[in-house]
Amino acid sequence: MMQSAKGDAPVVAVPLEVPEEKAEVTAEVLAEGKNLYGTNCAKCHKLYDAKSFTAEEWTPIVMRMQKKARISDEQREKIYAYLTTTQM
C-alpha cells in the first residue's frame, strides 16, 4: 500500500543562489562587443568612452542606439557587456 503524502508540506527546493540568467561575459564576448561597438556605433558620432556612463545609464542609451544602429539583440548585449565590464 502507498503511503499518502497528504498533510505533508510540499518539499520545495530553494536554491541558495539565484542562477545567473545573463550569458556569461567571457573575454571573447568582450572582444566581440568592442569590435561591434567600433563598427556600429561610430557612424553618426564619435565613440563615447565606456566610462562616460554608468551601467544604469548605458541601459536606456544602448536600447535607444540599437534602433539607430540596426543591430540585433545579441549584438546589443555584447556591446553592453563591453561598455559596462570595462568600467570595473
Taking CB under 6 A as the binding criterion, the range among 2-10, 11-19, 20-28, 63-71 that sits at the site for ligand HEC is 63-71
Yes or no: say if 82 and 50 are a contact pair by the CB < 8 Å rule.
yes
50: DSSP letter: G
Is 50 a binding residue for ligand HEC by CB under 6 A? The answer is no
| The three grid cell numbers given for residue 37, joined into one nine-digit string | 561597438
Among 33, 50, 69, 77, binds ligand HEC (CB under 6 A): 69
Is 85 a binding residue for ligand HEC by CB under 6 A? The answer is no
Q: How many CA atoms lie within 13 A of 55 on its CB side?
A: 8
- Shortest separation between residue 68's beta carbon and ligand HEC, angstroms: 4
How far is it, in rounded angstroms, from Cα 63 to Cα 71? Answer: 10
Residues that bind ligand HEC (CB under 6 A): 40-41, 43-45, 48, 61-62, 65-66, 68-69, 71, 79
